[in-house]
């Protein structure tokens, strides 16, 4: 493997087409497409300032690197990438990819990040600001996520999340086959229009969660007092709730149990329903 180290590159495509190369303490200063159409690349201790620095890269390991705000849209159309211990300050990262693993990565502008990524693994990742991360992505595994970005996980399929704290507006919309364990889900309109969602030992906060869904399983979950109008127009519910739930509104079918139920509302907009709702019987 060839080593390129302690050098700066700028302009248009300065490292175009390289392969089997290790980049150490490289700086991509400006310009566009610093590392493009490359394969088998290792980068460590590098800094990226120019636009689109890693496009069409097949097979890479990126460690201890920094991506400046000007490195927007930095990593697209690149497959089989591993990134560790990096800081990203640019938006619109990671598009149209297959095989992406991130560990101990902080993304400070998560705007439109992780779009159409297949086979995505995240461990101890932080997302800040921005909108719509994870759009149209699939086969996602997460262990350790902190996010305050808006509209996370929309139009996603086959998602497994562990140990997350997600503070947002609208999350897990139009998703299919999602399981979330031991996480905090804080935001309005959680899970609307999604199918086959399972939440295990999660805490749910925010207005009107879990509505217009088909197939929702809750196991030992808790609800914040502010959660209202829960389960509206949802079908195939199997919910076991620890503690109290403030309001259940217009559920269509399934079973809901909680230690304490504040109120159940069926209004003039309710569909025909046969949902069984009851408080837990203490033995």
Write out pLDDT tens, residues 34-54.
Answer: 999 999 999 999 999 999 999
- Residue pair 73/94 in contact by the 8 Å Cβ criterion: no
Q: Is the pLDDT of residue 257 over 60?
A: yes
For residue 282, is pLDDT > 60?
no
Mean pLDDT of 170-193: 97
Residue 123 pairs in a beta bridge with: 103, 143
Q: Are strands 47-48 and 27-28 parallel, antiparallel or unpaired?
A: parallel
Q: Is residue 283's pLDDT more than 70?
A: no
For the chain, what is the radius of gyration of the CA atoms?
Answer: 22
Average pLDDT over residues 17-34: 94
CB–CB of 271/250 below 8 Å?
A: yes
Task: Provide mean pLDDT across the span 237-250.
Answer: 96
Cα–Cα distances (Å) from 27 to 14, 49, 265, in that order, read: 11, 8, 61
pLDDT band at residue 30 using 50, 70 and 90 as cut-offs: confident
pLDDT grade for 181, boundaries at 50, 70 and 90: very high
Q: What is the mean pLDDT of residues 157-186?
A: 97
Residue-level pLDDT at 265: 87
pLDDT of residue 272: 73
pLDDT tens sequence across 102-121: 999 999 999 999 999 999 99
Calculate mean pLDDT across residues 75-87.
98
pLDDT in the model for residue 270? 77
Supply 63's token pair.
């460690």
């Amino acid at each position: 493997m060839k080593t390129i180290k302690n050098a700066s590159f700028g302009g248009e495509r300065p490292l175009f087409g390289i392969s089997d190369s290790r980049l150490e303490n490289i700086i991509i200063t400006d310009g566009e497409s610093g590392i493009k159409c490359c394969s088998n690349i290792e980068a460590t201790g590098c800094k990226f300032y120019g636009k689109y620095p890693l496009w069409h890269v097949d097979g890479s390991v990126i460690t201890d690197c920094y991506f400046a705000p000007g490195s927007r849209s930095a990593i697209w159309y690149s497959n089989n990438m591993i990134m560790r211990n990096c800081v990203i300050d640019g938006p619109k990262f990671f598009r149209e990819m297959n095989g992406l693993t991130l560990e101990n990565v902080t993304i400070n502008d998560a705007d439109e990040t992780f779009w159409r990524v297949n086979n995505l693994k995240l461990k101890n990742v932080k997302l800040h600001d921005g909108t719509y991360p994870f759009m149209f992505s699939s086969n996602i595994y997460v262990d350790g996520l902190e996010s305050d970005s808006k509209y996370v996980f929309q139009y996603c399929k086959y998602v497994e999340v562990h140990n997350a704290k997600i503070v947002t507006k609208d999350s897990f919309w139009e998703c299919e086959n999602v399981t979330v364990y031991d996480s905090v889900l804080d935001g309005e309109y959680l899970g609307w229009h999604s199918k086959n969602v399972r939440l295990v030992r999660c805490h749910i906060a925010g207005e009107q969660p879990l509505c217009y869904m088909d197939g929702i399983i809750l196991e030992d979950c808790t609800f914040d007092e502010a959660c209202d109008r829960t389960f509206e127009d949802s079908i195939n519910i199997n919910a076991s709730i620890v503690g109290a739930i403030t309001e259940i509104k217009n559920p269509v079918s399934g079973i809901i149990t909680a230690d304490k139920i504040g109120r159940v509302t069926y209004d003039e907009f309710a569909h025909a329903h046969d949902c069984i709702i009851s408080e837990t019987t203490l033995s």
